[in-house]
Structure 1
């Protein structure tokens, strides 16, 4: 498209605090941005853009987006979600967003400036609100840009994960309670909440009703403790707002972008939604996967790893993110013939290929590049088994002989600390992205010896010999383990790592985390019902990991770490069979991983052949 010309842009008129009634009478507050001239809204109708947010519709970045789109000829509406900021009602996370979104679009259809179709957009929770509304198929929904959210299944990804609970839900609840209506209305409540030391509270889990950092905001405490206690997949988790896959048949068939990133907690949500909906809908349905942490599409680094100047959207995929989305909305809401539908349906960033040096910001130069694809997962990727070997090896050869298992003691009072990963809203307790897998003072729970995680006796390390050539791994990753335990239940965690060789900048090398996963073993056969183990009996289990795209360079090693905790990313299993969200009981477990010729534990990597 030709560059914007200032004379083509509209002025913007804003109507603030417009109250819109939902079906139950609760009113939600909207700010309406309309194209204008000399301060007066223009006559006529316009395509409409809607963002529904719990983070405050007057937040500067959201306002700037609205001004941008409105200046380009859209009526843009920002709405505070139920019970947030200027909106009425009681707070219930996720589960009211379907009906509230549908009702808001019905109200939009009645406005004089409504041009017939509504496009939705927004990051994270604002993507959840879009998917929730789409499950009800609003008649005037025209297209969607879901950025890092829109739960495919919150039980399996980003709320619970492999049966464990993602503790970023705790940090999110605490931070939003600080910004809650109750906190703003009562200075005593505000002072009490803000005075809490969240690090101390993470040392005292599980939280109890009336005895948590959320006790002054009962709505937030109730929803968190309720969702933490629900450890089985049931009708609760199948609700609109939590499980789009239950509603794929009726999910809106409109043009839609599912966007996420390799260090984002919603990478599986985006790819799962894309795979299912691209096969069912005319759409078109497209997928965009970057290398960022949650929402950080304009910075080149993820954690302590730099992906290079090409990693960001700005001046790579478009002038900037607003213009990237503008092209999408112009095509599907204004019917501008800009060739968008001719673009390949999948755009992804393949990480790796950098110099491996330390850049001027003291980050590892990991590098990478964008690539277009026709499908996901990639048809040409070969699912390749890398088998766990005796003495910490990892190889394509099937293990031979009756090798003894590797054993370790898993003490829930001394969990393996989280060092990066697919995290959002975890600050200040946990950090997202890629890091050298070494304990340091910046990571909660790290021990002051500050040694590599691989040196811990409760972390099993399996790695290849130095690679003889580059190996690209792009797609979903799974681990098949044969395990046993002295306990009736325990967790097994897996982490895929790109091991850099020693260099001038990194004399001990650099162990870069790429993706991870967890399985609470009592869910090995079903998410609906639990089955405790018989101590000492051997079981075959699968640990699912989040999708990834990474090029392991010649001389690097592919490494798989196996353990039984990753805290505070996930809640810690007490090994008793009880839910650690409701029970503080904990016992130490002796856990074993088998890698003999009859029980060949392995990681399944989607290897893309070199061109």
Structure 2
């Protein structure tokens, strides 16, 4: 245990602990209003734990292992006590399983229970990443006054809703997450899940798609089936969407995220809402690093936020001052502070697709469209970028293989004569036509260095209906903070997929869960005065 403590201290860049001698009370019973009982573990210093500020972690991922050792233990060694509570139907807590849709009531009941414990002091800080962060958003507008701060990491108030867009279904994440949750209580689950990852990804080619879970698990999974059958705007998910509650949050929040994280766009939306409403007594904070959904560096930032900022608020002290927004500017590879998101001073600049694969701020000349053929039986693959799973390369990667495919178009500027900094929301407007009425448009922004190596910065996809007529497709890419260096080139990719991150478009208009036919399509991308396809970058030139 102490070896783990020393390793975590080094990896997370933490100050030495006040103690490494801890005690754990296991399987505490937490009653819910409907009669269900959830199980909790309480971590404390071996002596003197009663009354310390409590770090509350509500999780579906178990109360031991990586979560306890990497998230709770470092805090308890440095002045907190921690309560780790298993959500419904996980690790001994009563069911039935109901991911996302029961976290508000269960979270508020957990806080009521916590405050009544004899070892409770005066304060709670909500901490944790991903689903654990989502459990904070589910209750944040209605927490009791004993909750002094929340630190949701790589999460947002709607969590999985972005994946379930009707105009851009992100297949890989909800499917693989559902399989992970279903299998996570097996012996050596983490190792076995990693070894079985390729099997899971192969299953995503199953037709119809509603049989893919059975191909992996041997039976259907309720969450996966619900994700396939109910789009984001379906009333089925209403209890899981807490975005409308964000303006009423008064507890101070410190949001931590990554430029290549799954939840970034709506996390930034939540922060913007908090920042504008300003209903709390303290300013909210935002920290975005060059991370994917999980990295050790991000864990360290989150732990330090809890220990420095969260602990001060829990004790009624003044936390260290800092700008509201701290961003890692990729390309420059440095941390910078800003007053808001998006930062001021970055004006939208249109870079137009041009004939011959060029990209420029000039209006395009008269020219025929570029063409490619998209085959859903051999779908354009997802390469790097926003992905969750460990064996798949995430984040920034070499795009050479992807750009060599005949179903990927590229448009590139000449070498830049000065640095160009892009910080904020990125979008694209692509004039597009398909031989079929159903098609996808995927757009990726890349940085091409002096050696010609193309690495991805951000991207996004939209699914179109009526694409057999010339369509003005507006694609929202992931936000970013990136400096394109002098001598580098800006590149835009256009294609019709990124499988299996996004579901492949079969071209038939059949429901995604039951589609069985795959139709190839001839796609056209226009760039002429009447159809000025462009990417819109929030830009500032730097001398």
Aligned to 1:289: 288
The answer as to whether partners of 1:10 and 1:73 remain within 8 angstroms in 2 is no
Closer/same/farther in 2, CA of residues 549 and 206 from structure 1, 3 Å limit: farther
Instruction: State how far apart, in whole Å, the 1-side matches of 2:467 and 2:385 are.
Output: 32
1:519 to 450, 462, 465: 462
Aligned to 1:525: none
When the two structures are superposed, what TM-score results if normalisation uses the length of structure 1? 0.80
Aligned to 1:349: 328
Instruction: State how far apart, in whole Å, the 2-side matches of 1:541 and 1:325 are.
Output: 42
Task: Render the CA deviation track for 1:76-127: whole Å, top value 9, x for unaligned.
Answer: 1011111111212122222222211111011111112222332111111111
- Structure 2 SS opposite 1:595: strand
Q: After TM superposition, give the deviation of residue 158 of structure 1 in Å.
A: 4.3
Instruction: State how far apart, in whole Å, the 1-side matches of 2:15 and 2:433 are.
Output: 63
Closer/same/farther in 2, CA of residues 313 and 167 from structure 1, 3 Å limit: closer
Unaligned segments of structure 1, at least 5 residues = 185-189, 299-311, 315-319, 354-367, 439-451, 503-508, 523-532
Aligned to 2:7: none
Aligned to 1:305: none
Q: After TM superposition, give the deviation of residue 210 of structure 1 in Å.
A: 8.9
Number of residue pairs the alignment of both structures matches: 523
Aligned to 1:248: 246
Instruction: State how far apart, in whole Å, the 2-side matches of 1:386 and 1:534 are.
Output: 23
Instruction: State how far apart, in whole Å, the 1-side matches of 2:65 and 2:502 are.
Output: 30
The answer as to whether partners of 1:98 and 1:134 remain within 8 angstroms in 2 is no
Closer/same/farther in 2, CA of residues 205 and 258 from structure 1, 3 Å limit: farther
Is 2:148 the counterpart of 1:142?
yes
- Structure 2 SS opposite 1:238: helix
Closer/same/farther in 2, CA of residues 607 and 42 from structure 1, 3 Å limit: closer
Q: After TM superposition, give the deviation of residue 436 of structure 1 in Å.
A: 0.6
- Structure 1 SS opposite 2:538: strand
Superposition pairs of residues 191-340 of structure 1, within 5 angstroms = 197-208=199-210, 212-213=214-215, 215-216=217-218, 218=220, 221-231=221-231, 233-240=233-240, 243-250=241-248, 252-281=249-278, 282=280, 283-298=282-297, 321-338=302-319, 340=320
- Structure 1 SS opposite 2:445: strand
Instruction: State how far apart, in whole Å, the 1-side matches of 2:160 and 2:71 are.
Output: 28
Aligned to 2:3: none
Unaligned segments of structure 2, at least 5 residues = 1-13
Q: After TM superposition, give the deviation of residue 48 of structure 1 in Å.
A: 1.7
Aligned to 2:41: 31
Aligned to 1:448: none
Is 2:81 the counterpart of 1:75?
yes
Superposition pairs of residues 177-192 of structure 1, within 5 angstroms = 177-180=182-185
1:176 to 173, 181, 185: 181
Q: After TM superposition, give the deviation of residue 415 of structure 1 in Å.
A: 0.8
- Structure 2 SS opposite 1:127: helix
The answer as to whether partners of 1:161 and 1:518 remain within 8 angstroms in 2 is no
When the two structures are superposed, what TM-score results if normalisation uses the length of structure 2? 0.90
Q: After TM superposition, give the deviation of residue 33 of structure 1 in Å.
A: 2.0
Aligned to 2:396: 434
Instruction: State how far apart, in whole Å, the 1-side matches of 2:343 and 2:197 are.
Output: 50
Instruction: State how far apart, in whole Å, the 2-side matches of 1:475 and 1:77 are.
Output: 37
Aligned to 2:4: none
Closer/same/farther in 2, CA of residues 238 and 411 from structure 1, 3 Å limit: same
Aligned to 1:317: none
Is 2:517 the counterpart of 1:588?
no
Instruction: State how far apart, in whole Å, the 1-side matches of 2:171 and 2:202 are.
Output: 18
Is 2:98 the counterpart of 1:92?
yes
Q: After TM superposition, give the deviation of residue 133 of structure 1 in Å.
A: 2.0
Task: Render the CA deviation track for 1:323-362: whole Å, top value 9, x for unaligned.
Answer: 3420112221102334x2x310000001114xxxxxxxxx
1:18 to 12, 18, 28: 28
Q: After TM superposition, give the deviation of residue 321 of structure 1 in Å.
A: 4.9
Q: After TM superposition, give the deviation of residue 166 of structure 1 in Å.
A: 3.2
Q: After TM superposition, give the deviation of residue 24 of structure 1 in Å.
A: 1.4
Q: After TM superposition, give the deviation of residue 195 of structure 1 in Å.
A: 11
Instruction: State how far apart, in whole Å, the 2-side matches of 1:217 and 1:109 are.
Output: 41
1:457 to 398, 402, 406: 406
Is 2:386 the counterpart of 1:422?
yes
Instruction: State how far apart, in whole Å, the 1-side matches of 2:303 and 2:361 are.
Output: 45
Instruction: State how far apart, in whole Å, the 1-side matches of 2:213 and 2:383 are.
Output: 29
Instruction: State how far apart, in whole Å, the 2-side matches of 1:53 and 1:63 are.
Output: 14
Q: After TM superposition, give the deviation of residue 534 of structure 1 in Å.
A: 6.5
Instruction: State how far apart, in whole Å, the 1-side matches of 2:442 and 2:152 are.
Output: 29
Instruction: State how far apart, in whole Å, the 2-side matches of 1:140 and 1:214 are.
Output: 44
Task: Render the CA deviation track for 1:206-253: whole Å, top value 9, x for unaligned.
Answer: 4335972454565xx12101112223523234333xx33222233x31
The answer as to whether partners of 1:154 and 1:160 remain within 8 angstroms in 2 is no
The answer as to whether partners of 2:151 and 2:302 remain within 8 angstroms in 1 is no
Instruction: State how far apart, in whole Å, the 1-side matches of 2:456 and 2:371 are.
Output: 23
Instruction: State how far apart, in whole Å, the 2-side matches of 1:551 and 1:80 are.
Output: 42
Greater per-residue helix proportion? 2
Superposition pairs of residues 554-593 of structure 1, within 5 angstroms = 554-593=486-525
Instruction: State how far apart, in whole Å, the 1-side matches of 2:74 and 2:346 are.
Output: 40
Instruction: State how far apart, in whole Å, the 1-side matches of 2:130 and 2:299 are.
Output: 18
The answer as to whether partners of 2:370 and 2:526 remain within 8 angstroms in 1 is yes
Q: After TM superposition, give the deviation of residue 462 of structure 1 in Å.
A: 0.7
The answer as to whether partners of 2:358 and 2:413 remain within 8 angstroms in 1 is yes
The answer as to whether partners of 2:431 and 2:471 remain within 8 angstroms in 1 is yes
Is 2:130 the counterpart of 1:124?
yes
